[in-house]
Amino acid sequence: MTHQWHDTYHHIKTPAHHLDPRSKLSVGLVFVGFVLFTPFIRGFQAAAYGTLLLVAAVAAKIPLKDVLSRIGAVIPFALLMMLSAAFSHLSGRHLAQIFAKSLLSISAMALLAMTTPFPDMLRGLEQFHVPKLLLLFLAFLYRYAAVLGKEAIRLERGWGARYFGRFWARQWFKLGHVLAALLVRSYERAERVYAAMLARGFSGASGFVHVLHFTIWDGIFVATSTGLLTAVRMAHF
Protein backbone atom coordinates (compact mmCIF):
# COMPACT_ATOMS: atom_id res chain seq x y z
CA MET A 1 0.00 0.00 0.00
CA THR A 2 1.42 3.39 -0.98
CA HIS A 3 0.35 6.85 0.02
CA GLN A 4 1.61 9.65 -2.11
CA TRP A 5 2.60 13.01 -0.73
CA HIS A 6 -0.24 14.74 -2.58
CA ASP A 7 -2.81 12.45 -0.90
CA THR A 8 -1.64 13.37 2.60
CA TYR A 9 -4.47 15.68 3.67
CA HIS A 10 -7.40 14.24 1.77
CA HIS A 11 -8.62 12.17 4.70
CA ILE A 12 -9.24 15.33 6.75
CA LYS A 13 -12.93 16.20 6.92
CA THR A 14 -13.49 19.95 6.98
CA PRO A 15 -15.94 22.15 5.09
CA ALA A 16 -13.02 23.08 2.79
CA HIS A 17 -12.57 19.42 1.84
CA HIS A 18 -16.30 18.95 1.24
CA LEU A 19 -16.58 21.81 -1.23
CA ASP A 20 -17.13 20.95 -4.88
CA PRO A 21 -13.78 20.94 -6.73
CA ARG A 22 -15.23 23.28 -9.33
CA SER A 23 -15.81 25.97 -6.73
CA LYS A 24 -12.29 25.54 -5.33
CA LEU A 25 -10.78 25.55 -8.81
CA SER A 26 -12.73 28.68 -9.72
CA VAL A 27 -11.68 30.53 -6.57
CA GLY A 28 -8.07 29.36 -6.99
CA LEU A 29 -7.94 30.62 -10.57
CA VAL A 30 -9.70 33.88 -9.65
CA PHE A 31 -7.14 34.36 -6.86
CA VAL A 32 -4.23 33.83 -9.25
CA GLY A 33 -5.89 36.13 -11.78
CA PHE A 34 -6.34 38.91 -9.22
CA VAL A 35 -2.75 38.58 -8.01
CA LEU A 36 -1.28 38.53 -11.51
CA PHE A 37 -3.40 41.38 -12.85
CA THR A 38 -2.80 43.70 -9.93
CA PRO A 39 -0.34 46.08 -11.62
CA PHE A 40 1.62 46.77 -8.47
CA ILE A 41 0.90 44.85 -5.30
CA ARG A 42 1.23 47.14 -2.30
CA GLY A 43 2.38 45.92 1.08
CA PHE A 44 -1.10 45.82 2.58
CA GLN A 45 -2.46 43.99 -0.45
CA ALA A 46 0.25 41.34 -0.22
CA ALA A 47 -0.53 41.00 3.50
CA ALA A 48 -4.28 40.74 2.78
CA TYR A 49 -3.82 38.09 0.05
CA GLY A 50 -1.51 36.19 2.40
CA THR A 51 -4.04 36.43 5.23
CA LEU A 52 -6.80 35.02 3.00
CA LEU A 53 -4.59 32.03 2.22
CA LEU A 54 -3.73 31.64 5.88
CA VAL A 55 -7.43 31.65 6.85
CA ALA A 56 -8.12 29.03 4.18
CA ALA A 57 -5.27 26.84 5.46
CA VAL A 58 -6.49 27.10 9.06
CA ALA A 59 -10.09 26.36 8.00
CA ALA A 60 -8.86 23.25 6.15
CA LYS A 61 -6.83 22.18 9.22
CA ILE A 62 -3.64 21.97 7.23
CA PRO A 63 -0.54 22.51 9.38
CA LEU A 64 1.18 25.73 8.43
CA LYS A 65 4.62 24.13 8.38
CA ASP A 66 3.42 21.74 5.68
CA VAL A 67 2.07 24.56 3.55
CA LEU A 68 5.41 26.33 4.02
CA SER A 69 7.39 23.23 3.10
CA ARG A 70 5.46 22.89 -0.15
CA ILE A 71 5.99 26.55 -0.88
CA GLY A 72 9.68 26.04 -0.05
CA ALA A 73 9.86 23.38 -2.75
CA VAL A 74 8.82 25.85 -5.42
CA ILE A 75 10.73 28.88 -4.14
CA PRO A 76 13.78 27.97 -6.27
CA PHE A 77 11.58 28.32 -9.37
CA ALA A 78 10.30 31.72 -8.22
CA LEU A 79 13.90 32.75 -7.57
CA LEU A 80 14.86 31.55 -11.03
CA MET A 81 12.16 33.77 -12.51
CA MET A 82 13.51 36.66 -10.47
CA LEU A 83 17.02 35.89 -11.59
CA SER A 84 16.08 35.79 -15.27
CA ALA A 85 14.29 39.13 -14.84
CA ALA A 86 17.38 40.55 -13.10
CA PHE A 87 19.21 40.47 -16.44
CA SER A 88 16.60 42.78 -17.96
CA HIS A 89 16.05 46.47 -17.33
CA LEU A 90 13.65 45.78 -14.40
CA SER A 91 14.28 47.48 -11.08
CA GLY A 92 14.59 45.80 -7.68
CA ARG A 93 10.97 46.68 -6.85
CA HIS A 94 9.78 44.92 -9.98
CA LEU A 95 11.80 41.84 -9.11
CA ALA A 96 10.22 41.83 -5.65
CA GLN A 97 6.79 42.05 -7.36
CA ILE A 98 7.56 39.02 -9.53
CA PHE A 99 8.68 37.08 -6.49
CA ALA A 100 5.63 38.07 -4.40
CA LYS A 101 3.17 37.28 -7.20
CA SER A 102 4.67 33.89 -7.95
CA LEU A 103 4.83 33.03 -4.26
CA LEU A 104 1.16 33.96 -3.66
CA SER A 105 -0.03 32.13 -6.77
CA ILE A 106 1.94 28.99 -5.96
CA SER A 107 0.68 29.04 -2.36
CA ALA A 108 -2.92 29.22 -3.58
CA MET A 109 -2.38 26.26 -5.90
CA ALA A 110 -0.62 24.28 -3.16
CA LEU A 111 -3.59 24.88 -0.88
CA LEU A 112 -5.98 23.81 -3.63
CA ALA A 113 -4.02 20.59 -4.15
CA MET A 114 -3.98 19.90 -0.41
CA THR A 115 -7.76 20.21 -0.04
CA THR A 116 -8.88 18.52 -3.26
CA PRO A 117 -8.25 14.86 -4.13
CA PHE A 118 -6.64 14.67 -7.55
CA PRO A 119 -9.43 12.54 -9.10
CA ASP A 120 -11.95 15.20 -8.03
CA MET A 121 -9.74 17.88 -9.51
CA LEU A 122 -9.79 16.00 -12.83
CA ARG A 123 -13.58 15.74 -12.70
CA GLY A 124 -13.74 19.48 -12.04
CA LEU A 125 -11.39 20.22 -14.93
CA GLU A 126 -13.53 18.07 -17.22
CA GLN A 127 -16.52 20.19 -16.31
CA PHE A 128 -14.44 23.21 -17.33
CA HIS A 129 -14.07 21.58 -20.77
CA VAL A 130 -10.37 20.85 -20.50
CA PRO A 131 -9.62 18.42 -23.40
CA LYS A 132 -10.29 14.80 -22.41
CA LEU A 133 -7.00 13.55 -23.80
CA LEU A 134 -5.10 15.99 -21.59
CA LEU A 135 -7.13 14.83 -18.57
CA LEU A 136 -6.31 11.24 -19.41
CA PHE A 137 -2.60 12.15 -19.45
CA LEU A 138 -2.97 13.81 -16.05
CA ALA A 139 -4.87 10.80 -14.70
CA PHE A 140 -2.06 8.50 -15.83
CA LEU A 141 0.55 10.80 -14.36
CA TYR A 142 -1.21 10.61 -11.02
CA ARG A 143 -1.84 6.87 -11.17
CA TYR A 144 1.61 5.83 -12.34
CA ALA A 145 3.72 8.28 -10.33
CA ALA A 146 3.21 5.90 -7.39
CA VAL A 147 3.92 2.77 -9.44
CA LEU A 148 7.07 4.20 -11.02
CA GLY A 149 8.14 5.63 -7.66
CA LYS A 150 7.96 2.13 -6.18
CA GLU A 151 9.88 0.73 -9.13
CA ALA A 152 12.56 3.39 -8.66
CA ILE A 153 12.81 2.49 -4.95
CA ARG A 154 13.24 -1.19 -5.84
CA LEU A 155 16.01 -0.35 -8.31
CA GLU A 156 17.69 1.89 -5.75
CA ARG A 157 17.51 -0.91 -3.15
CA GLY A 158 19.00 -3.36 -5.63
CA TRP A 159 21.84 -0.93 -6.25
CA GLY A 160 22.26 -0.13 -2.54
CA ALA A 161 22.43 -3.82 -1.60
CA ARG A 162 25.56 -4.20 -3.68
CA TYR A 163 27.24 -0.85 -2.95
CA PHE A 164 29.60 -0.82 -0.02
CA GLY A 165 30.60 2.80 0.24
CA ARG A 166 33.63 3.02 -2.07
CA PHE A 167 34.24 4.44 -5.54
CA TRP A 168 31.50 7.01 -5.10
CA ALA A 169 32.45 8.85 -8.30
CA ARG A 170 31.69 5.73 -10.34
CA GLN A 171 28.23 5.58 -8.82
CA TRP A 172 27.11 8.51 -10.95
CA PHE A 173 27.53 6.32 -14.01
CA LYS A 174 25.60 3.56 -12.25
CA LEU A 175 22.84 6.04 -11.54
CA GLY A 176 22.58 6.56 -15.30
CA HIS A 177 22.07 2.80 -15.74
CA VAL A 178 19.40 2.79 -13.03
CA LEU A 179 17.54 5.63 -14.76
CA ALA A 180 17.84 3.88 -18.12
CA ALA A 181 16.41 0.69 -16.59
CA LEU A 182 13.53 2.71 -15.15
CA LEU A 183 12.86 4.27 -18.53
CA VAL A 184 12.82 0.89 -20.28
CA ARG A 185 10.52 -0.60 -17.63
CA SER A 186 8.20 2.41 -17.89
CA TYR A 187 8.08 2.04 -21.65
CA GLU A 188 7.23 -1.64 -21.40
CA ARG A 189 4.56 -0.92 -18.81
CA ALA A 190 3.11 1.79 -21.05
CA GLU A 191 2.69 -0.81 -23.79
CA ARG A 192 0.90 -3.18 -21.42
CA VAL A 193 -1.35 -0.39 -20.13
CA TYR A 194 -2.27 0.57 -23.68
CA ALA A 195 -3.12 -3.08 -24.40
CA ALA A 196 -5.33 -3.06 -21.30
CA MET A 197 -7.06 0.09 -22.51
CA LEU A 198 -7.72 -1.42 -25.93
CA ALA A 199 -9.05 -4.56 -24.27
CA ARG A 200 -11.70 -2.41 -22.61
CA GLY A 201 -12.83 -0.66 -25.74
CA PHE A 202 -10.64 2.46 -25.70
CA SER A 203 -10.79 4.23 -29.03
CA GLY A 204 -9.27 7.68 -28.52
CA ALA A 205 -10.68 9.50 -25.51
CA SER A 206 -12.62 8.55 -22.45
CA GLY A 207 -14.39 10.80 -19.99
CA PHE A 208 -15.32 10.66 -16.35
CA VAL A 209 -18.71 9.85 -14.86
CA HIS A 210 -20.25 12.94 -13.29
CA VAL A 211 -20.24 12.58 -9.53
CA LEU A 212 -19.89 16.23 -8.45
CA HIS A 213 -22.49 18.20 -6.53
CA PHE A 214 -22.41 21.99 -6.55
CA THR A 215 -24.34 23.02 -3.43
CA ILE A 216 -25.50 26.33 -2.01
CA TRP A 217 -22.35 26.35 0.16
CA ASP A 218 -20.20 26.29 -2.97
CA GLY A 219 -22.11 29.28 -4.28
CA ILE A 220 -21.59 31.13 -1.00
CA PHE A 221 -17.88 30.21 -1.00
CA VAL A 222 -17.33 31.46 -4.56
CA ALA A 223 -19.30 34.67 -3.99
CA THR A 224 -17.64 35.49 -0.65
CA SER A 225 -14.14 34.73 -1.91
CA THR A 226 -14.62 36.76 -5.07
CA GLY A 227 -16.02 39.65 -3.00
CA LEU A 228 -13.08 39.61 -0.61
CA LEU A 229 -10.55 39.40 -3.43
CA THR A 230 -12.24 42.30 -5.22
CA ALA A 231 -12.13 44.34 -1.99
CA VAL A 232 -8.41 43.67 -1.59
CA ARG A 233 -7.76 44.49 -5.26
CA MET A 234 -9.71 47.77 -5.11
CA ALA A 235 -8.60 48.93 -1.68
CA HIS A 236 -6.57 52.16 -1.43
CA PHE A 237 -4.78 53.21 1.72
State which residue, 171 or 206, has the beta carbon closest to another protein.
206
CB 237 to another protein: min, Å: 45
| Three-class DSSP category at 21 | helix
State which residue, 65 or 200, has the beta carbon closest to another protein.
200
How many alpha carbons lie under 13 Å from residue 2 in its C-beta half-sphere? 14
How many alpha carbons lie under 13 Å from residue 125 in its C-beta half-sphere? 18
DSSP 150: H
Q: Which of 69, 55, 42 is nearest to 15 (CA)?
A: 55
State which residue, 50 or 119, has the beta carbon closest to another protein.
119
Distance, CA of 51 to CA of 28 (rounded, Å): 15
CB 136 to another protein: min, Å: 9
CB 187 to another protein: min, Å: 13
H or E element at residue 3: none
CB 206 to another protein: min, Å: 6
Name the burial class of residue 185, with classes exposed (0-12), middle (13-18) and buried (19+) by CB atoms within 10 angstroms of its CB.
middle
State which residue, 130 or 235, has the beta carbon closest to another protein.
130
| Three-class DSSP category at 234 | helix
State which residue, 146 or 152, has the beta carbon closest to another protein.
146
CB 95 to another protein: min, Å: 39
CB 204 to another protein: min, Å: 10
Residues lying near another protein in the complex (CB under 8 A) are found at 1-4, 7, 118-119, 122, 139-140, 142-144, 146-147, 189, 192-193, 195-203, 206-211
Distance, CA of 29 to CA of 16 (rounded, Å): 16
Handedness of CA 225, 30, 216, 125 (dihedral sign): negative
State which residue, 169 or 211, has the beta carbon closest to another protein.
211
